[in-house]
Amino acid sequence: MDCSLLKRRSDYEWWIEPFGKMRVPGIIFAAEALVRDMDHKVYEQVVNVATLPGIEKASYAMPDAHWGYGFPIGGVAAFDPDRGGVVSAGGVGFDISCGVRTLHTGLTLKDLQPVKERLADVLFRKIPAGVGSTGKVHLDQKGMNAMLTGGAQWAVSNGFGSADDLERIEEHGCMAGAEPDQVSDAAKKRQQDEMGTLGSGNHYLEVQRVVQVYDAGIASAYGVREGDIVVSIHCGSRGLGHQIGTDFLKRMVKAAPGHGIELPDRELACAPIHSDLGRAYLGAMRAGINCALANRQVITHLVRQAFAEVLPQAGLPLLYDVSHNTCKLEEHVLDGQPRRLFVHRKGATRAWGPGHPGIPAAFRDVGQPVLIGGTMGTASYILAGTRESMEIAFGSACHGAGRAMSRTQAAKRWKGRELVDQLKSQGILIRTSSLRDVAEEAPGAYKDVNAVVDAADEAKLARKVARLEPLVCVKG
């Protein structure tokens, strides 16, 4: 990206002053090197989002921003429904409620090392992964609708975990306002055998080691210490979420002219929040959120079964579960007044600061855990939401490293087998059903996650708490 197009407000905040049909500024949070490495399409998409009706404050891009469908991945925008605000399927993304869940184990490397290979094999056997992967949970129509309504609460009520888990999940594991009737039969059919599966792409299950703690006080509140072994699950709503996005994007494109909406890009298809179509999408999307929460809950149950088989002394309570592809109704303060806004976060993680009533009581004094995933062989991070983020970005932060090249480019540059062998020599075991997927997700195909997290920390979007490094990775 050409930095001359931007107005530098600080070392980590860059503005696009409104021009043309922009209703608000564009704001990019990143170090200069990260901004320069961003594709020019990020600039265009930040500008385009700023033209949408009812947008408030700014169109934001997080430090990991890259070109996406309509919105940039790493994009954040909030809309007031009472001022013509819209909801955009492209502003949520196709993998609705994709997110990260992290579990404690109570183990150290000394416990893990003797059985590391066996644990990797058992996890790979128990957790289905890859394109078209299916699980052992089959949902008939009644079960599907119950899952889409109940989310992780449905999963717990069906024996996949305990009520304690629900206290450490966004929305207590169930997104209110879900409307399964707004989810197409095609979407439901795609999901009927996919519950409890990782899927493909950048999804994974990792056994990780806490290698560095940056804030001992917050880490203590989160129950995290240097040397701890944790497990992180990164996945979403599988085929169901993708189909919801596909279905509603088509409908929104056709309906936009009738609502007087001029789209700078048809991928930004949207509908007024107060319209029938807007309400229908929100109902379907919320069902998609519940699908993702249920999916990660079932996978958690399978992870616990695997550990019980190999390391029965492990305890696996939740640290937290947070999504990064959502649109949620939240209360934020603008110009000193509380306002209820629909906040789109696409490839961006909610990062509420200390004192927010929506944070679990155990974390309320220090801020919400923000879980930042790496990519197969690179570090992941635990951050904490900040009060500053609530003021400058609607309580939002990055979600990962962000791609630096396409999957096609990565597959041409790297060989899956060589990467698996290379990572094994570094002490990282990869289990996958597709070596091509490994090549597509090569660490070098992504931005430097350390630089992204440092930028988020310096911009005060979230505070660094701990750095995690992978030991075992089951690859989607």
- 53 vs 440: CA distance, rounded Å: 37
CA–CA separation, 243 vs 447, rounded Å? 29
Ranges of H-type helices in 18-57: 32-37, 40-49
* Phi, psi (rounded to 5 degrees) for 104: -75, 160
Length of the chain: 476
User: Which residues are CB-contacts of 25 (< 8 A; sequence separation ≥ 6)?
Assistant: 15, 16, 17, 18, 50, 58, 59
Residue environment code for 9-47, b if the CB has 16+ CB neighbours within 10 A, otherwise e: eeebbbebebeeebebbbbbbbbeebbebbeeebbbbbb
Pairwise CA distance, residues 386 & 75, whole Å = 18
| Distance, CA of 116 to chain centre | 28
Task: Determine the Cα–Cα distance for residues 356 and 364; give it in Å rounded to an integer.
Answer: 7
Give CA–CA dist 434/36, Å, rounded.
33
The pair phi, psi for residue 319, each rounded to 5°, is -85, -55
Q: Which two tokens stand for residue 303?
A: 């992870």
Helix (H) or strand (E) holding 238: helix 238-255
Catalytic member of 172, 234, 301, 399: 399
User: What radius of gyration, in Å, describes the C-alpha atoms of the chain?
Assistant: 21
**Among 268, 345, 372, 281, residue whose Cα is nearest residue 92:** 345
324 is an active site residue: no
Backbone φ, ψ for residue 255 (5° rounding): -85, -20
| Count of beta carbons in the 10 Å neighbourhood of residue 186 | 13
Whether the CA torsion 265, 269, 271, 276 is positive or negative: it is: positive
Q: How far, in Å, CA of 257 to CA of 276, rounded? A: 15
Q: How many CB atoms lie within 10 A of CB 372?
A: 28
Instruction: State the number of CA atoms in the 13 A half-sphere of 470 facing the CB.
Output: 27
Known catalytic residues are 399
